[in-house]
Amino acid sequence: MEEIIRFYEERIATYTAIRVALKKRIYHIGTLRLLIFVAAMVVLWIGRGAGWISLTLSVFAFALPFIALMVYHTKKGLCGRDDTSQYG
C-alpha cells in the first residue's frame, strides 16, 4: 500500500513541478507581449507626426514579434488547454 501512495505522491510532485514551470513561462510570455504593446503605443504616440511610412514600419516592427509570441504561445500548448497527456 505504501508503494502505491509513494507512486501517486511522485506523480503529484511531477505534475506540480510541470504546472509551476508552465505558469512561469506563461507569465514571462505575457509580460513580454505587454511590453511590446506598450512600446508600440509609445512609439506611435511619439512619432504620430512623422508620416505614414514611418508609422507603418513601426507597426510592422512591433506586430511581427507580438504575433510570433502568440504563435509560440499557442503551438507550445500554453494557451490554457488541459492537455496533460503529453506528460505522462
Whole-number pLDDT of residue 82: 52
- Residue with cell string 508503494: 3
CA distances, 45 to each of 34, 52, 81 (Å): 16, 13, 36
What pLDDT, in 10s, does the model give residues 10-57? 999 999 999 999 899 889 988 998 998 898 888 888 887 888 888 888
Taking 50 as the threshold, does the pLDDT of residue 88 lie above it? Answer: no
